[in-house]
A and B are shown apart, each in its own frame.
Chain A
Amino acid sequence: MTIARILFLSLLLLASSLPTLHAQEPRRAFAMRLPDNWDIKGELPTQALLVSLQGLANEGAPRLYFLYPANWPYGYTRNLKDYFEKSYGFEFREIATPADALHEFREHVKGYVVWDPAVRTSLTVAFTVAGLSRAVVVSPDQIPLAEREKLPKVEDFRGKFEGKTDYEIYSWAFGQYWDRCSHEFLTYLGGVTGPSMQPAIADLGIYHRSFFTDLSCDPKDTLEYALADRIMGGMKPMTSFVLGWHSYAKDMEQMYITLISRHVLRQEGLNTWPNMSFTTQLPLTPGFTFRNRHAVVPGKKYLPGPKVYIACVQTDGLGLGAWLDPGRGVFPYAWETTDGNSLIHAPALFEYFYATATPNDYFIGALSGPSYMYPLAIPPRYLPGVIAMDRANMDSLDLRIYGIMERTNFGDRYVGNTNLPKRIVDAYYDGLPGAIGFILGYGPSQTYDVRHHVPFLSYEYYLSAERPAEDAVADLKELAVMNPKRPYYLVMHVRENSGIDRVRSILNQLGPEFELVPLDVLMTMAGEDPTFRTRYLEE
């Protein structure tokens, strides 16, 4: 039996077990509104207490759900609650105050850990303790609240880390806690820095008893990098997860994902991913199957004309960006999923997106593997197995187009390489034989191929939210001038914070030579009449 087959069967087994794990759990739960402030000197102590409580309260069953502020990066918490009420039969009772919440869930809490507001990193370490000791995280001012519930103090970090570097603090925490933490989950509480923190993912990290950190993944930060490398090296490749996101103050996304990919771990969510200790326990509703909105009709020929065919793709994963935009569904839009992880961690979340998709919403697989990875960083012996995991996910989620991203040498839209050599392109063609097309990039890339009418394209344009519409229109027209053969296939990455009305306004100004088409139609036509030149990264 091949490794790929074992992985495929394991995934099927896991997916099939999910619906039954908690099928008999009660449908009553509590909801609470979180304040819109994440400052250490503001409401962060309250948020930290609540999110740690959530991770404990939801152990064994989904019990506590938060309504995040309207401007939260994942803006769907109200919509998802409505969906859980309608489709899962939940009845939510609202809790008003942190004291009420702690009292309500007192039986799930075994103690409290005190963090030091003078040392931000102490909060990150406190979350590790919270998971291991089933303790809530409190600031010094909140100690009376915990003691009113007769909770014992399990750890007190006041003054303990004063004057110490993050490397020193995390080294101490590693020695103290790592052996007792799950080695299948690591939580990165990065994202915003300085006087704020947005630790929404902490409930899931606590739920899984993970180690928490925000160590730098920049090789130039030799000490922090070495410790991050050591921690990830202690996790099992292929099946272990890094939850959260890197610190914007310490390193770059491509440095973080490169290190994760080198260890063949699977990155999941952002630090702002909300309510995951709740959502992760919900199976699919009985009888639900994932059905993608394919525009291509089997057996029909799609012969392109002398046009510029353009298709829009929003990347960055479902739940961020324009999904809740009232304009969604008016014209064809493709949405990148991070298929592998969310299918395991949040089948109900995936169900919500599929159930609320319009005929113009088309899902595509992503991103380089069963999470967010860079293929050149994945050790070659693991790459076929990684892609095989995605083959199973693509089947489960009815996906036919696959997105890949490459930034191993820290390249991005500005500098460096984002292309793939032929051997990697070969691996994706071999590993995903059911795909009808591939797209490479985030910013534009320049790897192209076509095999047996299946195109491998790159993003031709990155539409940022900051680019004025009239400039974007001129950019797209200029691209059409610089690609004079017709048909020209222009796949446009729409950054998630670009509104759909803005995108429509840009598309409307492109003129009659341009034709907006669904992504699968574009891919099918590109496979029939490729006008792009085969090109790979030269190694």
Chain B
Amino acid sequence: MKNRYAAACLAAAFFCAPGVMHSGSGSRLDGHWNILVNKSANIDPWVGLMIDITTDGNRLTIVKRYNGGHPHDRRVDSISVTPGKTEVVTVPPGRWLGEVSMALYYGPGAQRQVLARVSDPGNEIQVESRDTLESAQGRVPVDVQDTFTLSPDGVTMEWRQTRSTRLSGPPLVYSFARVTR
């Protein structure tokens, strides 16, 4: 309970803080990235994950493409926001992509509150978001912090996620190789 309270306070402080926006024309993380499964936290039941990052003017778009191995079993999660500005993104109903083996869902009309920041040199993106999910017992808020960091050589990216609800277990750290820019 103490940890959850602390996480909630941190998230609240973050949402209240002024955004820090990268002033450049784009992020050095822009491009298509493919997960390195053997160097990443477990993504079961997915077998593949690609992330596309694009910056268009002041707009940052991050698209995650999950692949379950069959053409039918694909899911996409995306945000398109202006860094430094808290925005509300509509999320299509369906199982929560945090872990589809858990009975957690986005209900009808689900929304996600998002604040993204791009670091000044453009080699790191932080995304703070608050999801409202549905569990067996009703609605439950989840604060999520995603950090995307470019390696010094520019060819690999690390995605690190922390959640206010995940209080144990291996760190959720995923490595990606650049496919195209």
Residues of chain A whose beta carbon lies under 8 Å from any beta carbon of chain B = 252, 410, 412-415, 443-446, 448, 457-464, 466-468, 470-471, 473-475, 477-479, 481-485, 488-489, 531-533, 535, 538
Residues of chain B whose beta carbon lies under 8 Å from any beta carbon of chain A = 4, 41-42, 44-46, 66, 68, 70, 72-75, 94-95, 99-105, 108, 133-138, 140, 142, 163, 165-170
Interchain residue pairs A-B with the least CB separation, the first 6: A474-B169, A444-B103, A414-B73, A462-B101, A532-B136, A414-B68
Total residue contacts A-B, CB cutoff 8 A: 122
Q: Which residues of A contact B99 (CB under 8 A)?
A: 475, 478
A252 to B140, CA, bound (A): 33
| B137→A474 contact, CB < 8 A | no
A485 to B170, CA, bound (A): 26
| A479→B42 contact, CB < 8 A | no
Q: Which residues of A contact B94 (CB under 8 A)?
A: 415
Q: Is the interface of A mostly helix, strand, loop or mixed?
A: loop
A252-B70, A415-B75, A468-B42 in contact; A460/B136 too (CB < 8 A)?
A: yes
| B101→A467 contact, CB < 8 A | yes
Question: What is the CB-to-nearest-CB distance from A261 to chain B, in angstroms, rounded to a whole number?
Answer: 18
CB-CB nearest in chain B for A493: B101
Residue in contact with B168 in the complex, picked from A468, A477, A533, A538, CB distance below 8 Å: A477
Pick the most buried of B74, B101, B105, B138: most chain A CB atoms within 10 A of its CB: B101
Known: A446-B134, A457-B136, A481-B165. 12 other contacts (CB 8 A): A415-B73, A444-B95, A444-B102, A458-B136, A466-B45, A468-B42, A474-B168, A477-B169, A481-B167, A482-B133, A482-B135, A482-B140
| B103→A479 contact, CB < 8 A | yes
Mind listing 12 A-B residue pairs with CB under 8 Å? A412-B72, A414-B73, A446-B105, A446-B134, A464-B101, A467-B44, A467-B101, A471-B170, A478-B169, A481-B165, A484-B137, A488-B137
A103 to B123, CA, bound (A): 76
A446-B134, A474-B166, A475-B102 in contact; A466/B75 too (CB < 8 A)?
A: no
Residue in contact with A413 in the complex, picked from B4, B45, B137, CB distance below 8 Å: B45
Q: Which residues of A contact B95 (CB under 8 A)?
A: 413-415, 444
A446 to B103, CA, bound (A): 7
| A459→B103 contact, CB < 8 A | yes
Q: Which residues of A contact B104 (CB under 8 A)?
A: 444, 479, 482
